[in-house]
Amino acid sequence: MKKVFTAIVLACFALTAVGQEHLKIKNIPISGTVQSFKAKLRATGLQNNPIIPDGSVLKGSFAGMPDCNFIFGGSAQTNTVFRVAVLTDSYKSWEQLKSKYESLVDSYSKKYQQNDQVHYFSSPYKEGDGDEIQALCNEKCIYLTVFDAPGGTIAIEIKGMVNEGRIMITYEDEQNFKKAKAENEKVVSDDI
């Protein structure tokens, strides 16, 4: 009887695991090690960023935007990929930056369910004052939209970086994020 019960529990677990899908970027599931996942992205035409010689960042086009950087998050012990951030080329004009952000949000809204959106400036800045990029760089402006997607979440955010703005699109796989969190907690527990 114990063997039958164990077999049923394992079968139910296997069916649950099979039913869960990984979030996809460039139609590739965010799964496996960071290295194996990057190899799949290289097959789509992405290349190592020549400015960062260790190969940790890939460069290429994404969603019609050239010169994007792809940055990866891996779990602490098994280096399982759980997050991919795409950083666009820079914009010096707030109008161009905001327009591209709104265009991306519109495109993603056609495919995914919008979960949350935050847009605001903090004093002394306000939209229209001509200092929007400075507000971004001083962390006095937030433009963020989050989407629920099959297998995880996607966030589109305007980021300030040394007198320029960029858009960061972050894909976070739900299954692998849980694994990364558990591995990190184990590392911390082992250390303390």
According to the model, what pLDDT value does residue 55 have? 83
Sheet of 141-149, strand order:
47-48, 58-62, 65-74, 81-87, 165-173, 152-160, 141-149, 113-121
Task: Decide: 158 and 135 in contact? Cβ < 8 Å.
Answer: no
How would you classify the pairing of strands 152-160 and 141-149? antiparallel
In whole angstroms, what is the distance from residue 153 CA to residue 147 CA?
A: 6
Residue 4 covered by a domain: no
pLDDT at 189: 87
Residue 70 and residue 46: Cα distance in Å, rounded? 9
Residue-level pLDDT at 162: 85
Phi and psi, residue 31, nearest 5°:
-155, 165
Residue 73 lies in a domain: yes
If one counts the domains in the chain, the total is 1
pLDDT of residue 17: 44
Domain span at residue 85 reads 22-191
Is residue 3 domain-resident?
no
Note whether residue 62 is domain-resident: yes
In a domain, 15, yes or no: no
Query: What pLDDT does 19 receive?
Result: 53
pTM: 0.87
What is the rounded distance in angstroms from the CA atom of residue 135 to the CA atom of residue 151? 34
Whole-angstrom distance, CA of residue 175 vs CA of residue 24: 12
Question: Residue ranges of the chain with pLDDT lower than 70?
Answer: 1-19
pLDDT at 54: 84
